[in-house]
Amino acid sequence: MTSASPDIPNCGGLPAAVSAFADAFVDFAVSGIFFPTNPPPPLPATPAATFLPAPSRLVAIGDLHGDLPKSLAALRLAGLLPPANSPDSSPTSTSWSAGPTLAVQLGDILDRGGDELRLLYFLRRLSISAAAQGGALLPILGNHEVMNVCGDFRFVTQPGLQEFSSWAGWYRAGLAIKRRCGDLEPPKNPFLGVPKSYPGIRREFWDGIRSRVAALRPDGPIARRFLADLPTVLVVGDSVFVHGGLLEANVEYGLERMNAEVSDWIRGERGDNARAPEYVCGRDAVVWLRRFSEGFNCDCDRLQGVLGMIPGAKRMVMGHTIQSEGITAVCGAQAVRVDVGLSKGCGNGLPEVLEISGGQSQLRVITTDPAEAWMYRKQKPEKAAAALEKNGDVKDGLALLVRESHALKGVEAKA
């Protein structure tokens, strides 16, 4: 090891401890959560498994969109967290209370709210607690995660920008701590190459946008840590989980192949400015498709054909398209739609979750107790944007803060 400069402390021969302290310092400053450090949770080198055996109890939770309080309500409704009035419950509790339950969250953690980072941290910490108790919490990727990795911030809110600005300040502090340790390899600076100005956008939002690009671009620290290992498609027992939907060409291409390629893209292994794989972009993409999630006149024959291409698959569980009346199922429950527009920034719907049990044969919707529903109904929802998103028009989110919304569609950073 080369000797450190006399002006730079050598960390007392404990560079790993200094690095771990800096990371824990940033984690707690950003999220209020400490992660286990003995041993530290490994960073996944590959995406999660695509095919998993059926658990004794399976739960599905729809889109969360940056609303931590409503997300906690859904997690409690599913029994994944202790009840709100339990002695074990607290606003920051990450104690898994569902034993061997496997829970799938259908993506769209990002956008339309101001708790995006706190949600990512919370879900990851809860997943660690679940694994320690024989359970699992497995989010998958939604179109809004893909959009943000692409630098498409049309549905970002002002609080969302502020949250990422705050993250950037703490992250830079962590970098400064590591740079003071001469025994450490110089840490990578994710802000290098990211534009500092964004013509057409009010100057007061430039730092938030720059911070968001640095965090979420391919190989960005938030993208790599929280998104790169999430599957795009997950098959658990006889249930296929996908944010938008699958068509025949997707299954023929290969579900495991898609998961691996999207993971490589987010991890930056295809290049810092590589384009997203085409099957996660466009109207018929697996994270955008609405063919099986709109209304009750579903193309059941085609859905049955797609499911027939996946050995043992009996149903497709989807998010993405808001079900204003709560979780719905069509085609003999072969298409189950679980996005209830939960977030206050996207409908403020009553929390509901889907439970699959009885050897995968029993489907049950767990809904908010009517005695508690008034708490949500009295909250004024933000303007729902689901209908606008369908045709590419944007009237809310960060698009209100710019003269032309295309200025937010795909911010590039130099490698």
Given the residues 144, 243, 320, 406, select the one marked as catalytic. Answer: 144
Q: Global pTM?
A: 0.88
Q: Is the pLDDT of residue 281 over 70?
A: yes
Ramachandran region, residue 359 (left: φ > 0; alpha: ψ -120 to 50; beta: rest): left
- The yes-or-no answer on residue 320 being catalytic is no
Q: Name the pLDDT band for 390 (thresholds 50, 70, 90).
A: low
Q: How far apart are CA 335 and CA 390, in angstroms?
A: 19
Q: Is 184:174 a contact under the CB 8 Å cutoff?
A: no
Q: What is the pLDDT of residue 358?
A: 74
Q: Read out DSSP for 75-119?
A: HHHTTSS--TTSTT--TT-----STT-EEEE-S--SSSSS-HHHH
Amino acid 388: pLDDT: 47
Q: What is the mean pLDDT of residues 52-69?
A: 96
Average pLDDT estimate for 185-211? 93
Cis-peptide, bond into residue 186, ω within 30° of zero: no
State pLDDT tens for residues 397-413. 555 444 444 444 554 55
The predicted structure's pLDDT at residue 63: 98
β-sheet bridge partners, residue 316 = 240, 335
pLDDT (0 to 100) of residue 376 = 67
Tell me the pLDDT band of 347, cut-offs 50, 70 and 90. confident
C-alpha to C-alpha distance for 205 and 399, rounded to whole angstroms: 12
